Amino acid sequence: MRKLQFHPCGNFNETYDRELTIFETDFGRISTLVGLIVLFAVVPFISNAFILYVINTIGIYAIAAIGLNLLIGYTGQISLGHGAFFGVGAYAAAILSMKAGMPFVIAVPLAGLITAFVGMIFGTPSIRLKHLYLCIATLASQFILEYIFIEWEGMTGGAAGISIPAASLFGIDLGSDRNFFYVIFFCFSVMIWLAVNITRTRYGRAFIAVRDNDQAAEGMGIPIFRYKLLAFAISSFYAGFAGALFAYYMISITPEPFGIWLSIEYIAMIIIGGLGSIPGSVFGTVFIVALNEILSHVTEYLMNISPSIGGAITIAPIREFVYGLAIVLFIIFEPKGLAEVWRIVRSSFRLWPFSY
């Protein structure tokens, strides 16, 4: 058996394969394994219903956030329509299961593919446009899709929404939070694994080249439009997949949650987590969802101790202010986000006490 390696002793990468490796040391590999075991075998049994609900929400949002990070962080194309694409996935899953009677296993990935297609349609303005313009085009797609959710009543049920039968997988009913937890986090792990590996392939390297300098990338022979569109499609697929899970988890959906606010929330997640970092997207999601829950509990608490003050306090403005502040502070002081904080903390532990 090979000797396990726990500490990297400098950068001695002799091949490109070595540099692309995901785990530099066996320590990372082992801790990932331990993390997975804890996640699947311990977490669902020690947490109560509320905590489990929060964790499930984090899992669903994290999948979509990873998709957005592939688009913004790796390919450098800003999208302000991610919330709407998430909604497309949710509606697609709802319609597929209600109108076409498809089972859960087929409806979810198919909803992802449909969303990817919709994403590509809205990504076509990127043929001739740089990210400034594309960013505005996605803003437009947000409003147009929202309009379709509300107005296409025959399919989406309009403002009243649409409800979905409870999911079942191979005869097992997924109605309970704990059963759904396993589905979400199985998908979550697969999606992370996919995303990490996409960034290591030629596609991932092409994305990064497009982000860093599109003219140089074109000069190197990378067909930019095709790769931008591919990035759009992948990111929308992630959003749609997560949206489909969300629809099944929530059982009934209305157009309301898929507004521009959700898109901004996703952007906040990946900025706070760290642009161009897959673990960062997860950190950011945890941060934002936790912040949401904490803020709503604080306002509830304030309302309980004194109804006279509490009556005037509503959560939405405070939440918007805190999100905005968090985005601004992270961009100014730590543009690489929580992922960078995590790296610094880790390496200072490793280097202690000889930090030079």
Partner 1 sequence: MEFFIQILINGLSLGFLYALAALGFVMIFKSSSVLNFAHGALMAIGAFLFLVLSTWARLPIWAAFMLTLIGSFSLGFIIERFFLRPLIGEALIEVIMLTLGLFIMIKGLLLFIFGGDLYSYPDFLPPALTFNWGGIEVPGVYVATFIVGLIFLGLFGFFFKYSSQGIYMRSVADNQPAAMALGVHVRRVFALSWAIAALVGAMSGIVLGIINGINVHQVSDIGLKVFPVVILGGLDSIGGAILGGIIIGLLETFTGGYISSSLREVIPYIALIIILLIKPYGLFGLVEIERV
Q: Is 143 in the site for partner 1 (CB under 8 A)?
A: yes
Instruction: Give residue 47's Cα distance to chain centre.
Output: 23
Applying CB under 8 A, which of residues 65, 68, 96, 214 lies at the interface with partner 1? 214
Residues 149-168 that bind partner 1 (CB under 8 A): 150-151
Least distance to partner 1, CB of residue 147, Å:
4
> Closer to partner 1 at the Cβ: 283 or 323?
323
Are the CB atoms for 149 and 255 separated by under 8 Å? yes
Applying CB under 8 A, which of residues 86, 87, 111, 131 lies at the interface with partner 1? 131
> Closer to partner 1 at the Cβ: 295 or 341?
295
Helix axes 224-250, 104-123, angle to 10 degrees: 140
Determine the size of the site formed for partner 1 (CB under 8 A): 49
> Closer to partner 1 at the Cβ: 53 or 261?
261
> Closer to partner 1 at the Cβ: 37 or 325?
325
Over the window 12 to 41, marking each residue x when it contacts partner 1 by CB under 8 A and - when it does not, the resulting string is ------------------------------
Q: Is 47 in the site for partner 1 (CB under 8 A)?
A: no
Q: Is 101 in the site for partner 1 (CB under 8 A)?
A: no
Least distance to partner 1, CB of residue 63, Å:
22
- Stretch touching partner 1 by CB under 8 A, among 106-114, 132-140, 244-252, 296-304: 132-140
Q: Is 267 in the site for partner 1 (CB under 8 A)?
A: yes
Q: Is 321 in the site for partner 1 (CB under 8 A)?
A: yes
Applying CB under 8 A, which of residues 215, 304, 306, 308 lies at the interface with partner 1? 215
- Stretch touching partner 1 by CB under 8 A, among 5-13, 94-102, 213-221, 289-297: 213-221
Where on the chain is the footprint of partner 1 (CB under 8 A)? Answer: 72, 76, 78, 122, 124-125, 128-133, 135-137, 139-141, 143-144, 147, 150-151, 214-215, 217-218, 224, 260, 264, 267-268, 271, 316-328, 331-332, 335
